[in-house]
Amino acid sequence: MIETRNLRHRYGGDDGPAAVDGVSLSIADGEFVVLAGPNGSGKSTLVRHFNGLLDPDEGEVLVDGTPVSEDLVAARTRVGMVFQQPRDGFVAATVGADVAFGPENLGLPREEIDRRVGEALAAVNMAGRRDERIDELSGGERERVAIAGALAMDPGHLVLDEPFTGLDAPARESVVEQLRALRDAGTGVVLVTHDLRDALELADRIVALADGQVAVDAPPAEVRERLPDLGIRVPPASERESPVPGRESTSPEREP
Ligand SMILES: Nc1ncnc2c1ncn2[C@@H]1O[C@H](COP(=O)(O)OP(=O)(O)OP(=O)(O)O)[C@@H](O)[C@H]1O
């Protein structure tokens, strides 16, 4: 369980505007939450509190009932993060070495590290590719390696911040499939996006931010009509129900 209680975050000291402005949320184990909202609404700032990458100015964040500030290691073990455009986020040259980095830092025995790396790569359809160089992979494959790196920590919740940015339609579809499989295996997922094309049918719940506050928090079916008013693109029903890979490769609202 991830909980925020009246969480407030200001960049630039006490006088700065609140990027996250009094957010109270509970995310249950195994829940698939899509965190939506227009550019600058506070999504990335909010999720960076889930494992202590940022400190609250007010309020608190708890993971499994323990304040993140009291046990940073527990929060980071329990909540895995995959950042936007992971191109710069890799720490090793090869797939296997990169995915092993987190478990190695936990000080786990070599056999356990190997087991975790194998399972994590299998979960993202990258089994047998440990020795490949990351700089020779496609964007979608890199994204999957980044997800595997987070999975190797055996997290209860996986947080992905705009994982579809820069991916073409087949690569997006592949990442969506991995997320669906994770959800079905019981891993909680928090998917940050301002574009719901790929996400709506996966979500148990949509949380939409506006100006750092929760504007909507409800199951997808209940919120569809309200999202466009918040600047959130909602796919037409036909697009959601029968996605055709390759049909669209750009979105006017996607970031450059
Ligand atoms: N490091 C920073 N320093 C100062 N202000 C920041 C910083 N990071 C974000 N902000 C500001 O905080 C607000 C929320 O930004 P945040 O990145 O959390 O929003 P977001 O919803 O994730 O946006 P996007 O969809 O563009 O990624 C914005 O006004 C942004 O300009």
Model pLDDT, residue 201? 83
Inside any domain, residue 254: no
Domain range enclosing 83? 2-232
In a domain, residue 248? The reply is no
At 59 the pLDDT is 96
The pLDDT tens digits for 219-229 are: 988 887 777 77
Q: How would you class 119 by CB atoms within 10 Å of its CB: exposed for 0-12, middle for 13-18, buried for 19 or more?
A: middle
| Confidence at 237, pLDDT banded by 50, 70, 90 | low
Pocket test for ligand 1, best of 7, 43, 83, 159 (most atoms within 8 A of CB): 43
- What CATH number does the domain containing 65 carry? 3.40.50.300
- Cα(179) to ligand 1 centroid in Å equals 25
Residue 242, domain member (yes or no):
no
- Mean pLDDT computed over 158-187: 85
Classify residue 253: in a domain, yes or no: no
Of 139, 163, 164, which is closest to residue 87 (Cα–Cα)?
139
- The domain total for the chain is 1
238 in any annotated domain: no
Lowest mean pLDDT segment, chosen from 40-44, 59-63, 96-100, 121-125: 121-125
Ligand 1 midpoint to CA 46 (Å):
10
Ligand 1 atom, smallest distance to 44 CA: 22
Q: The tokens of 83 are what?
A: 């950042």
Residue closest by Cα to atom 4 of ligand 1: 11
How confident is the model at residue 86, as a pLDDT? 56
pLDDT tier, 248 (very low <50, low <70, confident <90, very high otherwise): very low
Q: How many CB atoms lie within 10 A of CB 26?
A: 11
In a domain, 94, yes or no: yes
Residue 163 lies in a domain: yes
